Structure 1
Amino acid sequence: MKTKHIIPILLLTAISSTSFISCNGTSVDTVKALDSNYENENKTIELVGEFDAPSFTFSSGNSKSISMNFVVKSHPFSSEKFTAFSVILPTGTEKNSILFDLPADQKNYTLKNFYVFDKNGEKINLDSHTTFKMNGTVHYSELEKPEGDREKDNFSYQITDVSFEKN
């Protein structure tokens, strides 16, 4: 009698474990590819992960966009993180944009100061660590140079035309 119950439980556990382990491997593979080759030039990519605050200083409050980081993991319980840098989001309160809200008397910022508006217009504070499915087009700055002037190992890129929604 116990055997009849153990086999379905083991099978269910194995299937669940496999889905957790492989749930975001493609996002990790994509971020690794972004940092190692130009195969994604002018392609739209999809990543699943979280937005993270960038490291930057402000020269003025008139910026029309903010370059955010987007962090992906191979599975929800992984401590290993991979970061897509330079995800360009327009500032404002429109869909697929970011709002940076820093009081005048505050000098340092945290994720609490960032709000995104997803493709449905929902306002989400980044401190909630919400997981998003993000799409955007990749552009490598090195490929804008004449071929003879390019550095073979410079894979600096920007992801533009970004849209995202809660995952």
Structure 2
Amino acid sequence: MIQLLKQSRLAAFGTAVALCFSCNSESMDLAKSLASSYDYHDKEVTLTGEFDSPFFMFRSQNSTTIPMAFAVKSHAFSSEKISVSNVILPMGADKNSVVLEMAPDQKQYALKDFNIYDENGEKYNLDTHPSFKISGKVHYSEMDKPEAERSADNFAYEIKDVHIVKD
């Protein structure tokens, strides 16, 4: 009986590890596809990963959004990651938003300066590296141009109307 219980626990652990290694490969494949095709133009996508500090310079004190980066890994123990940039979040302490808390004389920001609010309004500091599932609508700026003027290899996009769920 004890041997059967051990085998059962080992099987359950093995299944959990296999799911952990395979569950986020879809997010990795999607992140690669976003950067290499227009297949997801004006479609909603879902990714699992961690928010990262954005790659931007402040344009104005009046900005109402922040284009956050979102790091997608194939699994929790992987060092390989793809950074999805331009995940557009509204600034503020509302649901599905971000707050950047910097001192007035602070010149550089770090992950500890960002707080994310999920779809329930729960606050998470990014320095703790929480995992999230986000969904939002993809828009490629190239698709705003007349078809004859579009570049075949400019896959710059934004993800807007983002919903954030703690994973």
Which residue number in structure 1 is paired with residue 89 of structure 2?
89
Which residue number in structure 1 is paired with residue 105 of structure 2?
105
Measured in 2, the distance between the counterparts of 1:4 and 1:119 equals 42
Once the two structures are TM-superposed, the CA of residue 117 in structure 1 deviates from its matched residue by 1.2
Once the two structures are TM-superposed, the CA of residue 54 in structure 1 deviates from its matched residue by 0.9
Which residue number in structure 2 is paired with residue 46 of structure 1?
46
User: Superposition pairs for residues 62-81 of structure 1, below 5 Å?
Assistant: 62-81=62-81
Which residue number in structure 2 is paired with residue 127 of structure 1?
127
Which residue number in structure 2 is paired with residue 150 of structure 1?
150
Which residue number in structure 2 is paired with residue 165 of structure 1?
165
- Identity among equivalent pairs (%): 47
TM-score of the superposition, structure 1-length normalised? Answer: 0.92
TM-score of the superposition, structure 2-length normalised? Answer: 0.92
Which residue number in structure 2 is paired with residue 56 of structure 1?
56
- Segments of 4+ moved more than 3 angstroms: 1-14
Tell me: CA distance 1:32–1:103, structure 2 relative to 1, closer, same or farther (3 Å).
same
Once the two structures are TM-superposed, the CA of residue 3 in structure 1 deviates from its matched residue by 7.4
Once the two structures are TM-superposed, the CA of residue 11 in structure 1 deviates from its matched residue by 3.5
Measured in 1, the distance between the counterparts of 2:92 and 2:11 equals 48
Unaligned runs of 5+ in 2: none
Measured in 2, the distance between the counterparts of 1:3 and 1:120 equals 44
Measured in 2, the distance between the counterparts of 1:3 and 1:99 equals 52
Measured in 2, the distance between the counterparts of 1:11 and 1:99 equals 43
Once the two structures are TM-superposed, the CA of residue 17 in structure 1 deviates from its matched residue by 3.0
- Deviations along 1:136-162, one digit per CA (max 9) or x if unpaired, are 000001111111111111110000000
Which residue number in structure 1 is paired with residue 26 of structure 2?
26
The root-mean-square deviation of aligned C-alpha atoms, in Å, is 1.8
Secondary structure of the structure 2 residue equivalent to 1:92: coil
Measured in 2, the distance between the counterparts of 1:70 and 1:6 equals 39
Once the two structures are TM-superposed, the CA of residue 83 in structure 1 deviates from its matched residue by 1.3
